[in-house]
Structure 1
Amino acid sequence: MAEQAHGIAEPMHPTVEALIRHRLGEAFGGLRGSLEAAMPMLVFVIAWSTTKDRTISLGAAAALTVVLGLVRLVQRQTLQFVLGSVIATGLAAFFALRSGDAQDAFLPGILTSCAYLVGSVLSVALRWPIVGIMVGFADQAAVAAGDPFRWRRNAAAVKVCSRLTLVLVAVYAIRVGIMGPLYLADNVAGLTISKVVLGWPLWAGAVAIMGAMLLKGNTPIDPDDDLVQPVDVWSR
């Protein structure tokens, strides 16, 4: 009972890969989260491309966002991905309305992918892999104790997370490599299709590859390892 009162317990996992797989499952939003984040922005782009009417375009995107948010509220679920779509749609609208060109709505996403690409590469080089950071913040016990980076004290976890982050590097490189030339060519139709294909489907492929890597891996966990120990949230 004392251990339950002082720590936040979680299921025990036999390998580093199994533990990371468990925590990544908590961190990713899945198909629904990805669609909620992308659909309002796509609705804005399609409406703006066909009507050039600011009110209709923003109204359509806002209406869809409200519907998605209400469904989440009724189900008493997180609004995280819906709120993310508000930011993405707002940036897209700013660029598109400012220039008058529909393709400029995709510029923030392309620039963001460039930033993520550079950041992912640097994170691996500096031994602070992005996937590891995601794993750390999905560790509720560590976050509650103010120690979301305890995974870095485990060399095996850093190594595994670095390999997984290289998958993200490939994802962002593909997005920039395809959407960048389409943007320069003012190809709105190609950008719209690419936004969909390189959104959830590409993410699904990346997650599948990560899952295969984690299923194949067999790095043993020491039961006394700090990575898997419940954190005493009262003693810090």
Structure 2
Amino acid sequence: MTEAQTKPSLLTQMGGVSGMVYAGLPSVVFVVANAAADLRAAVMLGVGAGAGIAGLRLLRREPLQPALSGLLGVAVGAVIAYRTGDAKDFFVVGIWASLLLALVFLASILVRRPLVGVIWSALSGSKQTWRTDRTALIGYDIATLAVTAVFAARFVVQNWLYSVDATGWLAFARIAMGYPLMGVALVVVVWAVRRSGRRGAAHPADA
């Protein structure tokens, strides 16, 4: 068995799909708690949820990276909000991170290295042979543009809600524009991945 076959892919090291879901749960808990109670309760429950998930994954001997990233994200947002005394400041980091990610994904298209293709190759442990196939490359360009649109939409909508102090709607937008909106973009991503896979199967010498 080769090293490539024995070495776990990045997706496996991240804990699979469930690991990525766990990474976002503490933020969801913070948003719901703030809407139902107050900022103090939201901080305690959000950070507590992140710590609880990390502890559970530790007991199960599962990868801690997704749990720790979720805990770090909610902790940073919670500290900022608690120090300013304004719940809407919990979303500041996420808002500007969306703009940064939109620019990074867009730039990757311009330099002909669409990040969706690069990331998928890393997650699946496969090579980037698709970069030599113009049709597959265009597919990943389209998928990367879809993800760019998601991040750009998050920034535009949430930054506007932040500017008008609509904290309740900002919380709703955080959830609605999270997994559901990204799920729409993932439909395009799956299309691009399958398109590239079919191209590779049609040209085994290149793959």
**Corresponding residue for residue 85 of structure 2:** 100
Q: Name structure 2 gaps, 5 residues minimum.
A: none
Aligned partner of residue 176 in structure 1, secondary structure: helix
What is the percentage of aligned positions where both structures have the same residue?
25
Q: Which of 119, 142, 164 is matched with 1:163 structurally? A: 142
Aligned partner of residue 199 in structure 2, secondary structure: coil
- Give me the whole-angstrom Cα distance separating, in 1, the residues matched to 2:116 and 2:21: 21
The answer as to whether partners of 2:109 and 2:141 remain within 8 angstroms in 1 is yes
Aligned partner of residue 162 in structure 1, secondary structure: helix
- Note the alpha carbon deviations across 1:18-64, whole angstroms, 9 max, x for none: xxxxx89768953x3444222212333454563343xx444322321
The answer as to whether partners of 1:114 and 1:172 remain within 8 angstroms in 2 is yes
* TM-score after normalising by structure 1: 0.71
Alignment of 1:207 with 2:186, yes or no, is: yes
The answer as to whether partners of 2:10 and 2:125 remain within 8 angstroms in 1 is no
* TM-score after normalising by structure 2: 0.79
The answer as to whether partners of 1:132 and 1:151 remain within 8 angstroms in 2 is no
Aligned partner of residue 219 in structure 1, secondary structure: helix
Assess, with a 3 A threshold, how the Cα gap between structure 1 residues 28 and 67 changes in structure 2: closer, same or farther.
Answer: closer
Greater RCO between the two (CA within 8 Å, min separation 6)?
1
- Give me the whole-angstrom Cα distance separating, in 1, the residues matched to 2:184 and 2:131: 30
Q: CA RMSD in A?
A: 3.0
**Corresponding residue for residue 219 of structure 1:** 199
Aligned partner of residue 76 in structure 1, secondary structure: coil
- Give me the whole-angstrom Cα distance separating, in 2, the residues matched to 1:192 and 1:8: 43
**Corresponding residue for residue 16 of structure 1:** none
User: Any residues of structure 2 matched to 1:1-236 within 5 Å, and which?
Assistant: 4-5=1-2, 8-9=4-5, 29-30=16-17, 32-47=18-33, 50-53=37-40, 56-140=41-125, 150-151=128-129, 154-156=132-134, 157-215=136-194, 218-221=198-201, 222-225=203-206, 228=207
Q: Return the index of the structure with the highest Cα Rg.
A: 1
- Note the alpha carbon deviations across 1:118-176, whole angstroms, 9 max, x for none: 1111110011211122123225376xxxxxxx447524443332221111011112212
Q: Name structure 1 gaps, 5 residues minimum.
A: 11-22, 143-149, 229-236
Give the residue type in structure 2 aligned to 1:186: D
Deviation at 1:216, TM superposition (A): 5.8
Paired residues, what number? Answer: 200
Assess, with a 3 A threshold, how the Cα gap between structure 1 residues 37 and 169 changes in structure 2: closer, same or farther.
Answer: same
Assess, with a 3 A threshold, how the Cα gap between structure 1 residues 25 and 73 changes in structure 2: closer, same or farther.
Answer: closer
Give the residue type in structure 1 aligned to 2:199: T
